[in-house]
Structure 1
Amino acid sequence: MCSKLSGLASSTSYLKARTRADYGYFLSYRTRWSDNDQYSHVNNAVYYHLFDSVINAYLIAHCDLSPQASDSIGLVVSSHCQFFSPLSFPDVLDLGLRVNHVGKSSVAYEVGVFREGGGEPAAVGGYTHVFVDRVSRKSSQMRDRTKEGLQRLFVERGSNRAVESKL
């Protein structure tokens, strides 16, 4: 068991070392009193709400993807989050977004959650979307405009720095 735990620690240390420069798009989020759990920390489930917010804000603004009008939709097929330091109301957060993989019908996002102005992430997580036909739910190829927008945040494997930080 100890070797499994030490392996987990080493596999997440690269995420803890992320900085703002590793993310090309940011969205600000003001925490709410209701985001806190009984221990006065932002509840774990809220982090997934944050991931969803920054990812969908980017898709709508930069990938020409309208959830209500598009023929295809992105379904979450996997998700993850590593927590490094607690956050709580009334913190203001900066949510950084990068793309770690772009396929024909799938994309893997990573989100860094920073306290406003902070240089180290309080959490790093994300999820994988598979784009499917809205009606049949069968895998469908991403639209060119969606793929182009996602490519702007794509970070090559082995590289840490986001290419585009102007968004």
Structure 2
Amino acid sequence: MHAERKHLLTTRIPVRWGDMDAYNHVNNTVYFRYFEQARVEWLEAMAFPVRPDQESAPVIINASCTFLMPVNYPATVEVRLYAGEPGRSSVMTWYELYVEGDDRLYAEGAAKVVWMDTRSGKSVALPDELRAVFAD
């Protein structure tokens, strides 16, 4: 994880039986959904609705995950969301995934979030309200 980051949100998500794959653990694609859910919860808590009818909105331009240990059903995952110093139109986010009741890190990930004009698809400056989160 990046050293200069700010903890923004922790969320808990129940693992669904259908999240598992043929190896009887959570499928790798589902980890990205857990990270996405944390990101959406954070943005909506900041009063940025994540809906297609907005004039500007966040999108990710890359995402990664390092799978350290398998998650199995039943469980509740705890996702911790962090972000770094924002740029003009983007902010880097990082994720840590734990299983509730276990201190071990199961996965870690990252995603670069870019603010865009939904009509043109081009990047725009981050909203001042979002930038203010990193000012203190």
The one-letter code of the counterpart of 1:140 is V
* Residue 59 of structure 2, aligned match among 70, 75, 81: 75
Q: Does the 8 A contact of 1:101 with 1:109 survive in 2?
A: no
% identical aligned pairs: 26
Q: Deviations over 1:80-100 (max 9, x none)?
A: 101111101111111101003
Structure showing greater Rg: 1
CA shift digits 1:69-88 (9 cap, x unpaired): 53211221111101111101
1:64–1:146 Cα contact (<8 Å) kept: no
Matched, 1:134 2:134: no
Matched, 1:116 2:117: no
User: Structure 1 pair 101/37, CA: closer, same or farther in 2 (3 Å)?
Assistant: farther
Q: Distance in 1 between matches of 2:104 and 2:85?
A: 23
Q: Work out whether 1:146 is the aligned partner of 2:136.
A: no
Distance in 2, matches of 1:24 and 1:146, equals 11
In structure 1, the partner of 2:35 is: 51
Counterpart CA distance in 1 for 2:73 and 2:97 is 14
Unaligned runs of 5+ in 2: none
Structure with greater strand percent: 2
Output the CA distance in 2 between the equivalents of 1:81 and 1:105: 23
Runs of 4+ that moved beyond 3 A? none
Runs (5+) with no aligned partner, structure 1: 1-14, 16-21, 153-162
CA distance in 2, matches of 1:23, 1:85: 23
Amino acid corresponding to residue 94 of structure 1 in structure 2: E
Deviation at 1:23, TM superposition (A): 4.0
Q: Secondary structure at the match of 2:62?
A: strand
Instruction: Give 1:66's aligned residue.
Output: 49
The whole-number CA distance in structure 2 between the counterparts of 1:23 and 1:86 is 24
CA distance in 2, matches of 1:121, 1:137: 36
Q: CA RMSD in A?
A: 1.8
Kindly tell me the number of residue pairs found equivalent between the two proteins: 131
Which residue matches 2:74? 90
Quote the Cα distance in structure 1 between the aligned partners of 2:11 and 2:128: 24
